[in-house]
Structure 1
């Protein structure tokens, strides 16, 4: 019996040792960051009645330090997730879902790209990112109890840059290529016009679906395809508005998380003065305005990615290129995957060829190559357009095509308005016969393009005669009215520019074209419009409902679905909370919109979805026609408010989660809205709104939910851009710094509830 006890003790020791190792290996193995030598940063943060921060500093770097502190005060929870993603460690926080990010981090060589390219950026741009990293480090140092993961800090500017490398490609749909390749699923791509090597689907020479890639099958690791999230943007010249040059930013992003907007204003003595919004992990706003000009963005969907099937040798270690065998670069990485109290190291092999990242599945080895690959120049370009003072300066930076994708809608104090279909589209050789929308022959080096097309080839409209511009995630060929729109035949089809319309686009184009005057009242009606045009997938859906034959329904679910269909056929095609069919229509439209928008080969089953929607309403509301506002809600920390709008209306309530009570809690749709006006001879003024509040993950803060009522009521709040307005409306004003002595003074003097790295004035 003694040996049994000894064996039991040995097993127990092995178990304990194994548990300790699995619970502690990941922080110990994490790559160490070497921050830049200490530099003292000092910034002032002023918060208004809604807690929105205005960050001031002597230098741009001081301001960037303050941006990190301000955002950490409001949302350190999300910032840490972003930092973990930027270091390939998100699986240690979020488990298997987080490890998906980490796999892509290694696949795209986010760290290697940052290490190679970040040192080549201009010194002032790197100074901005080093300062931002220093702010994150300072907050983490002052608040160790909030840190989620050991050794996550300190970080350096290079870490922040790696986050940009990781996230940006997914805005033009790279996740919808990686997903199917990883799973070994069939790949389909939308076909272009009938030109040599570029056949339409179903035409002679078209490849079969198993050899085509399709943008839109798989969502991003972030949970949704960025393109599906949508956005609206409008610019109106003074002659058409009857007064100011107007810019309306109406982005549709997730309301929470790593790509949710955060509002801020920055100003330095070096000429950086801008107000708008960024995503967690950025030292500067991505959209908004300065004194002279402004812009906003909508997601576009150019064909930015090419897929190559490699010809491999027997053991999979080499691939053939131009008749010669080359070694496939391979390395084993360990993805951290948290499971309860332990983190498991899951091995994955990462491959690369001269084409780019390589994914192995049951069908073979596939390389991918995409626009903007291997570059971090967007970090510099965003910084420069923040400080541009004229259209020429702004366009000079956009023309670099350093920002890989997204439409830009622009306006300025001089009355200029512009639309640029910005995209770093691969410079594919037009004299080479190849189906660029299919899977390419990886053994041909002439198919491995270098660089991007010239800016002159990108669709754009500048100062149209109509006096207005818009985009709602539609093709660039409807942007300014019939007399000013771009002719699709003028754009090379090999660029892969999408040919798609959204309901939002159809409505915006119709309403803008019909309006004789686009003053504030008219623009508000357009921006908050809740109607659908009976065109495209909406027409297809209602035509199918009319043709749906239930015969003599005898089953209870069939009877219920038949009644629901009859209600839907009476709908007035507005999601305004007034029609008895609004709730049913809301439940029906989203899946059809999503399928059409993502080019899915099959639409949802109509009868099944109708039955499911009807049963949901009966179960939770006891009727098929409850007010839509009872169904669709904006919810946060006990505040529960009704919403209007639907998936793909200009007042966008795009996607939701179904709560236990059957209500639909908005997940993304209308998010940060900013309305900017330049009146002749007057300083710029703007208003804005967020769905929740500035302190998005701080339930104890009064600014956790304080914008919700304004948001649901279609109201905007003032933006305090000018210093005198900021100070006149200041509710809290304090200084942040990383100076050691000053921090000691602050810790001793800071009142309860004030960040340790701040000093209340």
Structure 2
């Protein structure tokens, strides 16, 4: 009924305001509740759990999250920071929503097309989600044989179905095409060669009640009710960080983890032999098996897409207490290590955290990677005989190591890090016993200086100087909105995460434009009443006629957030339009 009601709302909008919809979009109308559920599974299972092109999670999908206990908070209330990082387009867009029913009152954000809040707070509690490194898709390598594939010493036939697909033509008519689908006992066949094939097995396709679970989470009034909803495990992945007005904070490495006989996390990233039932998983670990923490003595919990073992520091959860295939054993400097270290250091640096300090820290663009490599790079550059390399050393030595609009040195370091991406950068790798200070030391100073010279020359040729401000080099772009660049890639250790890509036009005065990163942001103090500041970086609209396309980008560029309008008084004071819905 809820899904059908959500679909009916979209159909009503299309009927009443169809002139605001592109003709290309109208082909899917009318939308049904089944369509909505199919979209939910398409996004979760086939974009987060497994990338449709690369069969892995999108490299632009990530998040920051903090949960801080009252003992660690200056206001003596629990604090929660929600900060997902996703591409700024298509099905990854968030929209803010406030759901107020006789049963609950919840505010937060949902992904476009989703009928329920994925990150939210109500009068009693709040939660956020971060992408976790859980492996929810297994590729099985099949050995083909006459009549099918080998399994446990026998030849099994594929299950073959033919689905008719209607393809709309330019004149409005439809052409029918047939799609042949082959399935093994493992799952659907996604690739086939002469003697082998790959079958894909994905978690959670047998659990369709995620929208209902999200509604139960939003209606919860305390930790017990929230955990009861979460433990249904209808959400097949994502860490959950939680805080409430009773002072509880929690971390859950949430998801459907298949029960496997052996193998490490790295092993299960690779194609698995599919010719034996010994490797075929058929059950999931229970909620009680998952890494979880409630009210740790550290006074805070954090996640930056790292494994569960660094949710606190010193670690409370130990990888040795869980199967090797649950998560990676440590931090990966090529993905999350520096952002994780930056997150932990900011939490450690505060004797107690205020609400205002949490918001300020959210916009920290200090590049943690510089603490591990920059001094070595500067010293090596100072010893060079090349004048431009010596100039680069001076620029980097005077740099504030941040990615603020006025930071000089950020473009040079960014370019250098890009040129070094394929190199073995560090002589000392990441070490669990020195988890906040490793990796460190340049592995090959000669190569590092060669690439630094290339980066400096590139800037010199473009800008006639290598002391270029970040806002000259990078811009925040969304549709027709443009603001000075701020923030940087999480791979460099910036907590303010913006992922940039090179501009496509040659006549622009900047080199990079934002395409992903900080999306919906919420800072919560679980007081009575709740205190909340929010921001949807790119705004809550995509339609060209809307004034809300990119209208929050200016706040983001200044490191500011806005008050959430949560009470009826606040809403009525800021009302732009209203509609009375009646039962037909």
Distance 1:592 1:330 in 2: 48
Matches within 5 A, 1:205-224: 218=54
Q: Shift of residue 462 of structure 1? A: 0.8
Distance 2:516 2:395 in 1: 27
Equivalent of 1:396 in 228, 232, 238: 228
Equivalent of 2:363 in 524, 528, 551: 528
Query: Relative to structure 1, is the Cα distance of residues 664 and 534 closer, same or farther in structure 2, using a 3 angstrom cutoff?
Result: closer
Query: Relative to structure 1, is the Cα distance of residues 417 and 534 closer, same or farther in structure 2, using a 3 angstrom cutoff?
Result: same
Query: Relative to structure 1, is the Cα distance of residues 366 and 608 closer, same or farther in structure 2, using a 3 angstrom cutoff?
Result: farther
Q: Determine helix, strand or coil for the equivalent of 2:414.
A: helix
Tell me the alpha carbon deviations over residues 549-593 of structure 1, each in whole angstroms, 9 at most, x when there is no partner.
Answer: 99877xxxxx87886577457654322344421122234446867
Distance 2:94 2:263 in 1: 43
Query: Relative to structure 1, is the Cα distance of residues 149 and 435 closer, same or farther in structure 2, using a 3 angstrom cutoff?
Result: closer
The residue that corresponds to 1:90 in the other structure is none
Query: Relative to structure 1, is the Cα distance of residues 560 and 354 closer, same or farther in structure 2, using a 3 angstrom cutoff?
Result: farther
The residue that corresponds to 1:326 in the other structure is 156
Q: Shift of residue 249 of structure 1? A: 0.9
Q: Shift of residue 137 of structure 1? A: 1.4
The residue that corresponds to 1:728 in the other structure is 573
The residue that corresponds to 2:536 in the other structure is 690
The residue that corresponds to 1:164 in the other structure is 40
- Given that 1:426 and 1:495 are in contact with CA atoms closer than 8 Å, whether structure 2 keeps it comes out as no
- Given that 2:263 and 2:325 are in contact with CA atoms closer than 8 Å, whether structure 1 keeps it comes out as no
- Given that 2:165 and 2:179 are in contact with CA atoms closer than 8 Å, whether structure 1 keeps it comes out as yes
Tell me the alpha carbon deviations over residues 104-160 of structure 1, each in whole angstroms, 9 at most, x when there is no partner.
Answer: xxxxxxxxxxxxxxxxxxxxxxx1101011111112222344242554111211111
User: What TM-score comes out, normalization by structure 2 length?
Assistant: 0.83
Tell me the alpha carbon deviations over residues 215-272 of structure 1, each in whole angstroms, 9 at most, x when there is no partner.
Answer: xxx377xxxx435332111111122112122111111122232111101111112x13
Is 2:145 the partner of 1:313? yes
- Given that 2:365 and 2:403 are in contact with CA atoms closer than 8 Å, whether structure 1 keeps it comes out as yes
Matches within 5 A, 1:338-377: 349-362=180-193, 364-377=196-209
Q: Determine helix, strand or coil for the equivalent of 1:524.
A: helix
The residue that corresponds to 1:95 in the other structure is none
The residue that corresponds to 1:142 in the other structure is 16
Distance 1:236 1:268 in 2: 29
Q: Determine helix, strand or coil for the equivalent of 2:36.
A: helix
Tell me the alpha carbon deviations over residues 73-110 of structure 1, each in whole angstroms, 9 at most, x when there is no partner.
Answer: xxxxxxxxxxxxxxxxxxxxxxxxxxxxxxxxxxxxxx
- Given that 1:171 and 1:299 are in contact with CA atoms closer than 8 Å, whether structure 2 keeps it comes out as no
Q: Shift of residue 546 of structure 1? A: 7.0
**What residue ranges of structure 1 are gaps of 5+ in the alignment?**
1-126, 180-217, 554-558, 597-602, 740-761
- Given that 2:521 and 2:534 are in contact with CA atoms closer than 8 Å, whether structure 1 keeps it comes out as yes
The residue that corresponds to 2:61 in the other structure is 229
Query: Relative to structure 1, is the Cα distance of residues 595 and 717 closer, same or farther in structure 2, using a 3 angstrom cutoff?
Result: farther
Matches within 5 A, 1:644-683: 644-648=486-490, 649-660=494-505, 661=508, 662-679=510-527, 682-683=528-529
Range moving further from structure 2, 568-577 or 247-256: 568-577
Distance 1:551 1:628 in 2: 25
Distance 2:221 2:210 in 1: 19
Q: Shift of residue 693 of structure 1? A: 2.2
- Given that 1:473 and 1:502 are in contact with CA atoms closer than 8 Å, whether structure 2 keeps it comes out as no
Distance 1:515 1:593 in 2: 33
Distance 2:177 2:453 in 1: 42
Q: Shift of residue 424 of structure 1? A: 0.8
Distance 1:260 1:150 in 2: 20
User: What TM-score comes out, normalization by structure 1 length?
Assistant: 0.65
Tell me the alpha carbon deviations over residues 674-711 of structure 1, each in whole angstroms, 9 at most, x when there is no partner.
Answer: 111122xx2212111122322x2233332223322211
The residue that corresponds to 1:213 in the other structure is none
- Given that 2:60 and 2:516 are in contact with CA atoms closer than 8 Å, whether structure 1 keeps it comes out as no
Q: Shift of residue 659 of structure 1? A: 4.8
Q: Which structure has more strand as a fraction of its residues?
A: 2
Equivalent of 1:514 in 346, 349, 352: 349
Count of residue pairs brought into register by the alignment? 547
Distance 2:202 2:451 in 1: 36
Q: Shift of residue 459 of structure 1? A: 1.1
Query: Relative to structure 1, is the Cα distance of residues 300 and 686 closer, same or farther in structure 2, using a 3 angstrom cutoff?
Result: same
- Given that 1:352 and 1:358 are in contact with CA atoms closer than 8 Å, whether structure 2 keeps it comes out as yes
Distance 2:271 2:181 in 1: 20
Distance 1:595 1:402 in 2: 41
Q: Shift of residue 719 of structure 1? A: 0.9
After superposition, the CA RMSD in angstroms is 3.6
- Given that 1:421 and 1:460 are in contact with CA atoms closer than 8 Å, whether structure 2 keeps it comes out as yes
Matches within 5 A, 1:95-114: none
The residue that corresponds to 1:30 in the other structure is none
Q: Which structure has more helix as a fraction of its residues?
A: 1
**What residue ranges of structure 2 are gaps of 5+ in the alignment?**
425-442
Larger Rg: 1
Distance 1:590 1:280 in 2: 32
Q: Determine helix, strand or coil for the equivalent of 2:60.
A: helix
